[in-house]
């Protein structure tokens, strides 16, 4: 098996990117061929696979999100168990492609975030982040050198530790004649804005707020776990938006906070969903009205970020949507109305399947790491300097 130095000597590499987001739907695995590195990077998607978490593993991951229900021994075990699931996802995507593991050069794994405490003014905690999915387990079970823990170096340098995908967005999707925004709607929503003829220091990016996270939690609560999400936004489409409740939620301090900023379950997780459910009961809202209002809230937080922090300074020629939220038709209808006349497109229009975009990004970040390239953007994360991201686990 090649060393990381030997891998860096190859002009073409087959690399797997692994990603599990805040929705914990499963592990997205993208197998790509990467040519060159840095500004010369070219990527071709060979295969994409989503490896579902078993119901027991998924439930145990959600328990980790709650400090009162997690324990040191459970965190320790789950780190290795999640690593095993990530390795299975890598093996599956290679099998789908009809290839052998010996043909794969490198794996880049984001892991599963279980807690994220970014720097904040007057915070009473140590800024830190924890992604589980032991890379040594992935490397051993696949026989492929693995790079993981991409967030920690940025946090060590005083950054937010996220978002990390904007660097890859710049490498792959920058344009000479158009200013574009790449809007990902996963559990959390985030945007990358790339001005026309941009250099990497011109890129602007941030979390915008909740994506599917609160909607997914509410659907599980309303259906006793039978439904994990609002399929195509059908449930929300049958309800009416509560304007008073929407206005109250839009007072959340994250919405008005200036970037750089990141968020997660600590702000928009199960606790927010439980509070929203209690508010709906107090106001005697139908369950469909609650989901409709949460869907409108998600759309409004995305639009609000653009109107506060982007549109006053940039004329955006197009917004490209990726992530699970692009399949929620009710959410997309809200966004189309809020963003008129700026056109919205699927990420497919720039040559990448929307569901695979983030997994592809971690394959590229791994490739950049073996070449020693810094891949955080300090103006995005707030880090004091550019950093090479990722920890290395040989096979």
User: What is the DSSP annotation of 274-342?
Assistant: HHHHHHHHHTT--HHHHHHHHHHHHHHHHHHHIIIIITTT----EEEEESGGGG-HHHHHHHHHHHTTS
- Residues 377 and 322 reside in one and the same domain: no
Q: How many CB atoms lie within 10 A of CB 312?
A: 8
- Residues 295 and 205 reside in one and the same domain: yes
- Residues 275 and 294 reside in one and the same domain: yes
Residue whose entry in the numeric block shows the structure tokens 């709607």: 185
Domain membership flag for residue 317: yes
Domain membership flag for residue 349: no
- Residues 336 and 359 reside in one and the same domain: no
393, burial (CB in 10 Å: exposed 0-12, middle 13-18, buried 19+): buried
pLDDT score, position 1 = 63
- Rg value, the chain, Cα: 20
- Residues 361 and 217 reside in one and the same domain: no
pLDDT score, position 285 = 96
- Residues 33 and 117 reside in one and the same domain: yes
Domain membership flag for residue 236: yes
- Residues 54 and 152 reside in one and the same domain: yes
pLDDT score, position 352 = 84
- Residues 41 and 140 reside in one and the same domain: yes
CA dist., res. 389 & res. 136, Å (int) = 17
- Residues 192 and 327 reside in one and the same domain: yes
Domain total for the chain? 2
Domain membership flag for residue 347: no
- Residues 45 and 142 reside in one and the same domain: yes
Domain membership flag for residue 105: yes
Domain membership flag for residue 92: yes
pLDDT score, position 354 = 85
CA dist., res. 319 & res. 183, Å (int) = 7
- Residues 61 and 208 reside in one and the same domain: no
pLDDT score, position 108 = 98
CATH number, domain of 291, equals 3.30.420.40
Residues of the domain holding 127:
4-164+355-393
pLDDT score, position 237 = 98
What stretches in the chain show pLDDT beneath 70? 1
pTM (2 decimals)? 0.93
- Residues 67 and 87 reside in one and the same domain: yes
Domain membership flag for residue 84: yes
């Amino acid at each position: 098996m090649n060393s990381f130095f030997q891998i860096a000597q190859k002009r073409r590499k087959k690399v797997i990117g692994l990603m599990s987001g805040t929705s914990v739907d499963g592990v997205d695995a993208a197998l790509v061929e990467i040519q060159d590195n840095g500004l010369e990077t070219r990527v071709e998607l060979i295969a994409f696979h989503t490896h579902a978490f078993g119901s027991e593993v998924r439930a145990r991951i959600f328990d980790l999100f709650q400090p009162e229900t997690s324990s040191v021994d459970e965190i320790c075990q789950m780190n290795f168990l999640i690593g095993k699931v990530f390795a299975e996802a890598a093996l599956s995507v290679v099998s789908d492609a009809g290839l052998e593991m010996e043909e794969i050069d490198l794996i880049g794994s984001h892991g599963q975030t279980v807690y994220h405490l970014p720097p904040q003014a007057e915070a009473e905690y140590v800024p830190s982040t924890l992604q589980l999915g032991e890379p040594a387990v992935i490397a051993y079970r696949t026989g492929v050198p693995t790079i993981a823990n991409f967030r920690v170096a940025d946090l060590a340098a005083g950054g937010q530790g996220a978002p990390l995908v904007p660097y890859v967005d710049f490498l792959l999707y920058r344009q000479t004649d158009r200013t574009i925004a790449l809007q990902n709607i996963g559990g959390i929503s985030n945007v990358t804005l790339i001005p026309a003829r941009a250099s990497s220091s011109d890129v602007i990016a941030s979390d915008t707020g909740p994506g599917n996270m609160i909607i997914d939690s509410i659907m599980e609560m309303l259906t006793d776990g039978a439904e994990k999400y609002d399929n195509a936004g059908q449930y929300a489409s049958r309800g009416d938006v509560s304007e008073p409740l929407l206005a109250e939620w839009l007072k959340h301090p994250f919405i008005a906070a200036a970037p750089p900023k990141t968020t997660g379950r600590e702000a928009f997780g199960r606790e927010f969903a439980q509070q929203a459910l209690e508010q709906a009961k107090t106001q005697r809202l139908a369950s469909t009205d609650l989901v409709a209002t949460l869907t409108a809230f998600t759309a409004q937080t995305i639009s609000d970020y653009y109107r506060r922090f982007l549109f006053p300074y940039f004329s955006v020629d197009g917004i490209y949507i990726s992530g699970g939220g692009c399949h929620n038709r009710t959410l997309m209808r809200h966004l189309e109305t809020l963003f008129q006349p700026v056109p919205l497109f699927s990420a497919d229009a720039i040559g990448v399947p929307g569901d695979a975009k983030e997994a592809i990004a971690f394959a590229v970040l791994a490739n950049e790491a073996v070449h020693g390239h810094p891949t955080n953007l300090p103006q995005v994360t707030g880090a004091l300097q550019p950093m090479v991201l990722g920890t290395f686990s040989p096979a």
